[in-house]
């Protein structure tokens, strides 16, 4: 006889929360109270508390046709952790709130939470509480991340100075090309569900889109080298948008050099298939979750041996504007053409 599957509605809201969090243990001494009360209780002694929050909406930020639930849970967490790292701080707790319809099964929600928990385990973060609700418009995932930082190490967007070097970690544009690949295969599937998706050879791009990793390693490297950026932001909305955020907040301009912007060979290969210029994907694609930061030339000396860090330009006077120096030496004004949640929806 087939074993009866529990339904979410039979568990109820609080039963579901207990079901998903009953065996969670707290790893950080600052977490005095986790799931099970009206709020998490955190104790930081002499530390700055850093808090950020993101909401992901089905149909806007993710598509369940090609996004595995476990990957979605993982990505939802690391997108928030990346914001904490971009402050040169360390994440310690998250609060998770979910809204979903009765169409989802308990197994699907369990898989989502499995991804959330995997991200917490990977980055030593506590799942300290949250909320659930029903929804008639698709799934919504809201995560608040809480971190701790030291006053002397916290980095804001507004600290860039003229002649500072502009640096990025990793490579850019891969997540965007991974999304284009998934969208192409989705359209083919909807037209003919019998056709198998063609995804071979693009593991890196798919991983960058579906299961990205925040750059905790770069933050720890700063500490090891006793180096501190003058300004920093994570690249979630595209390089051009992010560097313009730093320049606007810092009251400066910038020059980015196209030849120095790092792009993976897999990105270049798929960009050619889609007739997309790899540089355009790097500038405007978003969701790379790499770190963009500025450092003085003296501080950069401490970082130059790290192969995951690359200088791509420098800070200029504000009246010079924000410009891209192309392969032939031409100067083109940068435009913030990255992700815009309200684009074409007003």
pLDDT band, residue 151 (cuts 50/70/90): confident
- The encoded tokens of residue 109 equal 């929600």
The backbone torsions φ and ψ at residue 269, rounded to the nearest 5 degrees and listed phi first, read: -65, -50
| Tokens of residue 73, six digits | 């849970």
Q: Burial of 105 by CB count in 10 Å (0-12 exposed, 13-18 middle, 19+ buried)? A: middle
Q: pLDDT above 90 covers what percent of the chain? A: 75
* Domain final residue, candidates 92, 125, 149: 149
Q: Are 57 and 140 in contact (CB under 8 A)?
A: yes
Q: Given a cut of 80, is residue 102 above it in pLDDT?
A: yes
pLDDT for position 31: 84
Residue 287, phi-psi category: left (phi > 0), alpha (psi -120 to 50), beta (remainder)? left
What tokens appear for 226 in the block?
């006793």
Query: Per-residue pLDDT for 344 more than 50?
Result: no
- What average pLDDT does the chain have? 91
> Looking at 149, 182, 213, which one is the last position of a domain?
149
CA 18 to chain centroid:
28
Co-location of 228 and 80 in the same domain: no
Task: Give me the pLDDT at residue 338, please.
Answer: 58
Residues 191, 128 within the same domain:
no
In this structure, is residue 343 part of a structural domain?
A: no
Judge whether 155 lies within some domain: no
pLDDT at 19: 85
CB 127 within 8 A of CB 116: yes
Say whether pLDDT at 189 is over 70: yes
| DSSP character at residue 287 | -
In a domain, 157, yes or no: no
Share of the chain above pLDDT 70, in %: 93
CATH of the domain at 102: 3.30.1330.10
Q: What is the pLDDT of residue 21?
A: 85
Q: How confident is the model over 105-125, as pLDDT tens digits?
A: 999 999 999 999 999 999 999
In Å, the largest CA–CA distance within the chain is: 76
Number of domains in the chain: 2
CB 145 within 8 A of CB 220: no
- In this structure, the answer to whether residues 143 and 169 fall within a common structural domain is no
Q: What is the pLDDT at residue 5? A: 59
Query: Domain boundary residue among 149, 177, 201?
Result: 149
pLDDT of 4 above 70: no
Strands 90-100 and 126-134: what pairing? parallel
Claim to verify: residue 14 and residue 144 sit in the same structural domain: yes
**Whether 177 contacts 281, CB under 8 Å:** yes
Span 36-49, average pLDDT: 74
* Burial of 278 from C-beta contacts in 10 A (0-12 / 13-18 / 19+): buried
For the chain, the first-to-last Cα distance in angstroms comes to 53
Lowest mean pLDDT among 13-27, 127-141, 170-184, 191-205: 13-27
- pLDDT, position 285: 92
The answer for residues whose C-beta is within 8 angstroms of residue 16's C-beta and 6 or more apart is: 8, 109, 132
Mean pLDDT for the stretch of residues 80-105: 94
* 177 and 323 within one domain: yes
Is 341 among the domain residues?
Answer: no
Is residue 281 pLDDT above 90, yes or no? yes
The neighbour count for residue 187, using CB atoms within 10 Å, is 9
121 in a structural domain: yes
- Statement: residue 166 has pLDDT above 50: yes
pLDDT reading at 334 higher than 50: yes
Residues comprising the chain, all counted: 346
Residues 322 and 222 in one domain: yes
Mean pLDDT on 142-157: 93
User: What's the Cα-to-Cα distance from 247 to each of 157, 158, 163, 289, 317, rounded to whole Å?
Assistant: 8, 8, 12, 19, 9
CATH code of the domain covering residue 321: 3.90.650.10
Residue 342 in this model has a pLDDT that exceeds 50: no
Q: Is residue 1 part of a domain?
A: no
Which range of residues forms the domain containing residue 102?
A: 8-149
**Bridge partners for 44 per DSSP:** none
Most confident region among 17-21, 132-136, 292-296 by mean pLDDT: 292-296
């Amino acid at each position: 006889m087939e074993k009866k599957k529990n339904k979410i509605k039979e568990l109820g809201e609080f039963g579901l929360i207990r079901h998903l969090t009953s065996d969670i243990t707290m790893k950080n001494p600052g977490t005095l109270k986790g799931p099970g009360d009206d709020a998490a209780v955190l104790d930081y002694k002499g530390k700055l508390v850093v808090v950020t929050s993101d909401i992901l909406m089905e149909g806007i930020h993710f598509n369940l046709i090609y996004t595995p639930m476990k990957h979605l849970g993982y990505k939802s967490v690391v997108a928030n952790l990346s914001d904490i790292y971009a402050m040169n701080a360390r994440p310690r707790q998250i609060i998770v709130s979910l809204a979903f319809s009765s169409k989802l099964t308990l197994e699907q929600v369990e898989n989502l939470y499995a991804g959330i928990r995997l991200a917490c385990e990977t980055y030593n973060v506590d799942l300290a509480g949250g909320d659930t609700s029903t929804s008639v418009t698709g799934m919504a995932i809201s995560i608040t991340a809480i971190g701790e930082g030291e006053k002397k190490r916290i980095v804001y967007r507004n600290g860039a100075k003229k002649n500072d070097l502009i640096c990025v970690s990793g490579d850019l544009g891969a997540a965007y090309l991974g999304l284009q690949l998934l969208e192409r295969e989705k359209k083919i599937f909807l037209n003919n569900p019998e056709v198998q998706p063609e995804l071979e050879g693009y593991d890196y791009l798919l991983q960058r889109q579906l299961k990205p990793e925040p750059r905790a390693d770069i933050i720890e490297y700063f500490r090891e080298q006793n180096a501190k950026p003058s300004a920093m932001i994570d690249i979630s909305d595209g390089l051009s948008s992010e560097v313009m955020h730093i320049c606007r907040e810092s009251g400066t301009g910038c020059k980015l050099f196209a030849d120095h912007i790092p792009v993976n060979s897999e990105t270049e290969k798929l960009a050619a298939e889609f007739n997309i210029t790899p540089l355009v994907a790097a500038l405007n694609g978003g969701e790379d979750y790499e770190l963009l930061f500025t450092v003085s030339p003296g501080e950069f000396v401490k970082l130059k041996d790290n192969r995951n860090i690359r200088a791509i330009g420098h800070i200029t006077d504000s009246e010079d504007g924000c410009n891209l120096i192309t392969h032939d030496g031409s100067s083109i004004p940068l435009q913030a053409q990255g992700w815009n949640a309200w684009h074409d929806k007003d």
